[in-house]
Chains A and B, each alone.
Chain A
């Protein structure tokens, strides 16, 4: 039984609002008990910042009058501190893509001013766009194109000319990561497609570190989730093929941040006919490392979950089953789970934002919220053997219960 038992919640019921983090590290933002989701509405062409005050059960589009409209689908966004969500997106001026930066302020639920436009060198179809703004520092955009990875900075309203900062040892792309307290941006590098997975750090002077080999797969490393930090470690989940069609959910930990040495863990291995996609790492409410990935087969479409116990991962559990509990109003032939970002609230409820992908060849990837509220944690009854009874003599019998949704009510059925 999956932890999510209630139906998926359509975040924007008025249209096919798409979620996609292929170019951005996060799209679920938590401010206290409020949740924010950044979406692209495919029907209207407008950006949406949806807000939920009830752990994802209902959502309201914020400041829609000032939302960016008619932007390209390339979009990246991140938490930039001071209650702000940073939004970096493309607009087309003629055939040439231009980029702009804008912030959404969650303290006022309003969009800020739009930055000046800037251009990137290389191919106009830039698929990797990494950036991070630290409080009081410029916005930094790092992108792949041309001879390697280049960067441009926004300072006093002006973008610097793009400059080459890093040429990888193999053709490949830097992936999304995090910036540590020393200002270093930690990213992974995977040749496309390739068998090696590297770590690269780019410090606050935009100087890259040496590449550190994390893992070398026998067949392929199809995809890697974004990197995560608990403050001291680099954590990540990769999907590895060490033999054709044999997928491993493969976790790695690097420490220290300045010169990480990596330890690897196999979380799970696929059975015949199963494919793993969309790896993701999160920290739960107690700081435990939790990893997610999607499992697809001819009969299954599930989001899997496993928790790190300090030296090994626990047995994976089904977080959500899209075959048994399909989303509403979406082609049931497809339903491919992809693009996940999750958070556990202090009451234990998990909220995951995801997209369900239809198979009508041109169909939408529609944003849904998956919540473990309402009985997401399975109900468990502890029923010890009944005491030896005697007619006319009262006795007490303990009945334990956990999980589910309290309060609990019992009825004696004769």
Chain B
């Protein structure tokens, strides 16, 4: 399983919306969450998803739009 970095998200993006974004592009992630500030709950404008085939997921989702935002999807930095 590989973690993916997703950004920059719309400010009102939700976990459900992020999963829907992957699904609409033919990818079913194990998990997909919007990273939020722990205290305020405000979005950090990035997300993380866990997938089996990172290359396939990146090919399917990178540079695709979520609302007005064109998302960049890459492997999570290490």
A245 to B46, CA, bound (A): 11
Q: Counting CB contacts under 8 A, is A365 at the interface?
A: yes
Chain A hits for B68, CB < 8 A: 244
Does B7 reach chain A (CB closer than 8 Å)? Answer: yes
Give the bracket for the number of chain A residues in contact with chain B.
20 to 34
A297-B35 CB under 8 A given contacts A222-B45, A245-B69, A277-B44: no
Alpha-carbon distance between A362 and B46 when the two chains are bound, in angstroms: 17
Q: Which chain A residue has the least Cβ–Cβ distance from B68?
A: A244
Q: Is the interface of A mostly helix, strand, loop or mixed?
A: loop
- Contacts A193-B12, A332-B78; A275 near B44 (Cβ below 8 A): yes
Flag if B8 contacts A361 (CB, 8 Å): no
**Could you tell me if B12 and A22 are in contact, using CB atoms closer than 8 angstroms?**
no
| Cross-chain contact A22 with B37 (CB below 8 angstroms) | yes
* Given A127-B40, A336-B44, A365-B39, A275:B7 Cβ within 8 A: yes
Known: A272-B72, A296-B44. A20 touches B77 (CB 8 A): no
Residues of A within 8 A of B55 (CB): none
User: Do B42 and A296 touch across chains, with their CB atoms under 8 A apart?
Assistant: no
Contact B8 A273 (CB under 8 A): yes
Partner of B46, one of A73, A193, A222, A275: A275
Determine how close the nearest CB of chain A comes to the CB of B12; give it in whole angstroms.
7
In the complex with contacts A222-B11, A244-B69, A333-B76, A298-B5 CB distance below 8 A: yes
Confirm or deny: A299 has a beta carbon within 8 angstroms of a beta carbon on chain B.
yes
- Bound Cα distance from A106 to B41, whole angstroms: 33
Are B48's CB and A275's CB within 8 A? no
- Is the Cβ of A223 less than 8 Å from the Cβ of B42? yes
Nearest-neighbor residue (CB-CB) of B73 within chain A: A298
Encode A328-365 as 1/0 by CB contact (under 8 A) with B. Answer: 00001100101000000000000000000101010001
Interface residues of B in 46-75 (CB under 8 A from A): 46, 48, 67-70, 72, 74-75
Decide yes or no: A357 and B38 within 8 Å by CB, A222-B11, A222-B45, A298-B7 being known contacts: yes
Question: Please, which residue of chain B has its CB at the minimum distance from the CB of A332?
Answer: B78
In the complex formed, the residue of A with least CB distance to B4 is A298
Is the pair B40, A22 in contact by a Cβ cutoff of 8 Å? yes
Say whether B69 contacts A298, CB under 8 Å: no
| A–B pairs, 20, beta carbons within 8 Å | A22-B40, A222-B42, A223-B42, A244-B69, A245-B70, A275-B7, A275-B8, A275-B44, A275-B46, A277-B44, A296-B46, A298-B74, A301-B77, A323-B77, A332-B78, A333-B76, A333-B77, A333-B78, A338-B37, A357-B38
Which A residues form the contact surface with B (CB < 8 A)?
A: 20, 22, 73, 127, 193, 220, 222-223, 244-245, 272-275, 277, 296-299, 301, 323, 332-333, 336, 338, 357, 359, 361, 365
Known: A22-B37, A273-B7, A359-B48. 11 other contacts (CB 8 A): A22-B40, A73-B39, A244-B67, A245-B69, A272-B72, A273-B72, A275-B8, A296-B44, A298-B76, A333-B78, A365-B38
Using CB atoms and an 8 Å cutoff, list the residues of chain B in contact with chain A: 3, 5, 7-8, 10-12, 33, 35, 37-40, 42, 44-46, 48, 67-70, 72, 74-78
